[in-house]
Amino acid sequence: MKWLIVLATFVVVGTTVVLFHTLNKEPIVGILLPIDRVNSSLGSRIGFLIALKDLPNDVEFVNIDYTSTNLKKVLERATKKGIRYFVGDNYSSDVSKMGDLLIKTHSILIESMVTNPAVLDKAKYAYTLSPTDDIQAKAIASYLEKKGYKSIAIVKDTSNPEYVNYLSEEIAMDLKNVKPEIVSISKINDIKATPAAFVLIMSAENAVKISKIIKSKFFGSALIGSDRTFNVLLLKNFQAVSGMIVTGFVDTTYLSSKFSEKVTKSDLSLTPRVILCYDALKVAYRLAKNHISAGNSQSYLNTHTFMGAVGNFTFNGKHAITPVYFYKITPFNFNLVWRFGGKSDDF
């Protein structure tokens, strides 16, 4: 029954708090779900849903719907109800609004894909399942240099500014042999010469739109997308983005067939977002079940091993330890083509 209640919340309009269990049990984990980003957050919802089905019933889960404009008020309301553990698939810009409240209420937030290290450092009790953008920037710069691109344009959109600005600037600094041109998505037509490669720091929705422009105006340029760009929407629009290289923080080839079947039943492609949200909820569950205080949260995370969808993982400071994986979008799915970090930086 638990999963049916969660699934029903996918179409809820407005800000609501829905209990997954009828009994008033402690502790409680609040699941932050953005109702104004339903299309882009389907993968995260499926990941949370599968984790809920796999977990015991000794922790209560509360669905907390919010929009980008009322997030802080919704979170304040939840903390006043006594919720001190949260899990989400938010933007870096979202978490930047939550840091003071987490500190004030001694609440813990486990994120799936927030990657800006400055935001995480300011939000004292916020942690992420993804490597931070200083690591991702080095990975993307290394890939660009490995391919030998002599001219590069970095295109960023305007949403989630903490993320797009930081990652764009870090990539530019990490490139040793090329000084890239950094432009906003609205200025792409101002680029005169055709770059050897475009790096897209933006949402999947914008990546689909801009890829069509790039392929028509800048024929032959390679396309590389960041972690936020890698979304199921890309796979649904493969004609526009076929051949694009995108980063992710999970090696899907090591997934168990049982987990893959669960995702397939949801009629959703298995992207890293699904897996990271699954793992994030399991981490939040462990913290809540063991009544870990905010003050002890970092010590606990850094000294324990967690079982995720693709095996065990650990934390180092504010983020989980994982390589950066590079996938190529194909007409049928996506293929792993390169890896930065871990056992080897090449195949």
- The CATH homologous superfamily to which domain 2-130+254-316 belongs is Response regulator (3.40.50.2300)
Q: Calculate Rg over the CA atoms of the chain.
A: 20
Sequence ranges of the domains in the chain: 2-130+254-316, 133-248+324-340
Read off the pLDDT of each residue in 17-30 and give the average, rounded to a whole number. Answer: 59
SS3 per-residue string spanning the chain: CHHHHHHHHHHCCCCCEEECCCCCCCCEEEEEEEHHHCCCCHHHHHHHHHHHHHCCCCCEEEEEEECCCCHHHHHHHHHHCCCCEEEECCCHHHHHHHHHHHHHHCCEEEECCCCCHHHHHHCCCEEECCCCHHHHHHHHHHHHHHHCCCCEEEEECCCCHHHHHHHHHHHHHHCCCCCCEEEEHHHHHHCCCCCCEEEEECCHHHHHHHHHHHHHHCCCCEEEECHHHCCHHHHHCHHHHCCCEEEECCCHHHCCHHHHHHHHHCCCCCCHHHHHHHHHHHHHHHHHHCCCCHHHHHHHHHCCCEEECCEEECEECCEECCCEEEEEECCCCEEEEEEECCCCCCC
Cα–Cα dist 235/217, whole Å: 22
Tell me what the pLDDT averaged over the chain comes to.
Answer: 87
Enter the CATH code of domain 133-248+324-340: 3.40.50.2300
Contact 291, 272 (CB under 8 A): no
Alpha-carbon distance of 137 to 116, in angstroms, equals: 11
Name which of 184, 114, 113, 171 is nearest 140 in CA terms: 171
Looking at residue 58, its pLDDT comes to 93
pTM of the model: 0.88
- pLDDT-based confidence at 25, cuts 50/70/90? low
Dihedral pair phi/psi, residue 255, rounded to 5°? -70, 145
Chain-centroid distance of CA 118 in Å reads 16
Residue 314: predicted pLDDT:
96
Assess whether the region 2-130+254-316 and the region 133-248+324-340 belong to the same CATH fold.
yes
Peptide bond before residue 27 is cis, with ω within 30 degrees of 0: yes
**CA dist., res. 116 & res. 100, Å (int):** 17
Inform me whether the pLDDT recorded for 21 exceeds 90: no
pLDDT of residue 26: 76
Contact 2, 48 (CB under 8 A): no
User: CA-CA distance, 316 to 127, in Å (whole number)?
Assistant: 10
Which amino acid is located at 57 in the chain?
A: N
d(CA 335, CA 269): 13
Residue pLDDT, tens place only, 152-189: 999 999 988 999 999 999 999 999 989 999 999 999 98
pLDDT band at 84 (very low <50, low <70, confident <90, very high): very high
* Mean pLDDT across 255-284: 80
